[in-house]
Each structure stands twice: as structure tokens, then as C-alpha cells.
Amino acid sequence: MAAPPNSTTFSGDVWAELRLADARDVPHIHRLTHQMAEFELLTDLFAATEELLTTTLFPSPTPPPFTSFTALILDLSPSPIVPDASSTIASRRLDLSASPLADPEAAAFASPRGGGRVTAGFVICFPNYSTFLSKPGLYVEDIFVRAPWRRRGLGRMMLSAVAGRAAELGMGRVEWCVLDWNKNAIDFYEGMGADVLPQWRICRLAGAALDKYKGSQEEAAGGKAA
């Protein structure tokens, strides 16, 4: 099958790197998040802006990785990537000799790191806490791989890297959510050893439902003083 017009074809050896993101990656994180919202049929909830992503994910000074909101970027390169001890979380080589890959968005997702790298996915995670275990953990808010790069073992690489870091830090568990209709994802997570817990439900206050509680602390304090 011919590659789509204006696409970039990757073949032979390709190198993948999962690395710490920085503010230069915000445009790609924003675009990837929107693609994820489209895939999950949740674009009506999408309100992210590049400005908000920059201020919330990359404050100054930036906390150490995995102690606050942590963004990881998945880059692919047609040439070997030399791991950087300050930013590389995981890396691996892919052999695409038998199945070359056409990426129609390669130009739009050119990595700010240069060198012909292409950004193909991202992870957002942050610490949580289990009183049952009396240990901190990591919550994976988002894990996403662009369509052309799926089913190449990259999602497993990303989630394994996060789980590995949690284990190395002595954390008790890693948690995330999955949509109940996404059977492929559920099967994938179970295949990695995760328990899917149908007895739990997500409870959420957001938007107007959250805003109506503004000032409730002052009211409670005033009532207590009275």
C-alpha cells in the first residue's frame, strides 16, 4: 500500500526514547491531548491551552521528576539516540525492516530536540497516596501513542518505565483509569498484570459544580467561630 501523501516513512532500525518533557514540548503535548480526546470521544471536555499546560506542568523552579506533575515524551529517531542521564527514562531499538511505517504527521510532530526525531506519544503522571499501604504511589493521568506508532510495543515500554520508576522509589502501586468500552486497552493492561477494578467508580467535581464551593472554607470558619 502506498504511503499517504506528505508522510515520512520509517524503515529499518528506529530508536525510541522516553524522556522528561520540558516547556518546548508543550505544543506537541497540547496536540496529543486533543488527539486523545478525539479517540476517547471526549472533545466536549477538552479545554486545555498551551499557556495552562506550560504554567501547570513546568513551573519555576521545576520539582524533581515523579514528586509532582511529571510529563514524559516519546520520541522516535531514524538514528541512534545517546541516552541522557538527566532526562532519558527508557530507550529501545525497533526493527521496522519487515514492516516500514508511514507517519503522515511526522513534520507536524518534529521533536524540538532535532536530529530528525519525531514525537509519537506522551505520559502524564503524579504522586498519590494509599493509607491502606501507608505508601505513596503514582497515578497515570494520560498515556497515549499516536495512531501510526501503535502496536509496536511502545505503550508497554512507556507504562513499564513508569511502573519501574515507582518500584525503584519504593512506592506501593501505580493506578490509572480506562474507558469501559476500550477492550483493547483493558486486555493490554491485564496482560501487563494490572487488576481492572469494576467495583470502583470515579467521582468528580468540576466546572460549575466545583465553583459553587468557592468561599465554603470561609463560611465554615465563620460558623465555627460563631
Residue with cell 501547570: 56
Per-residue model confidence as pLDDT tens for the chain (226 residues) = 555 667 899 999 999 999 999 999 999 999 999 999 999 999 999 999 999 999 999 999 999 999 999 999 999 999 999 999 999 999 999 999 999 999 999 999 999 999 999 999 999 999 999 999 999 999 999 999 999 999 999 999 999 999 999 999 999 999 999 999 999 999 999 999 999 999 999 999 999 999 999 987 666 666 654 4
Please indicate, yes or no, if residue 2 is contained in any of the structural domains: no
Structure-derived torsion over alpha carbons of residues 29, 31, 33, 35, reported in degrees to the nearest 10: -150
Does residue 225 belong to any structural domain of this protein? Answer: no
Provide the residue range defining the domain that includes 23: 8-203
Q: Is residue 221 part of a domain?
A: no
Q: How many domains does the chain have?
A: 1
CATH number (domain holding residue 82) = 3.40.630.30
User: Is there a domain that residue 134 lies in?
Assistant: yes
Query: What pairs with residue 135 in β-bridges?
Result: 130
Selected catalytic residue, list 129, 139, 189, 213: 189
In a domain, 78, yes or no: yes
C-alpha cell at 184: 483493547
Q: Does residue 23 form part of some domain?
A: yes
Active site residue 189: yes
Instruction: Note if the bond before 61 is cis, omega within 30 degrees.
Output: yes
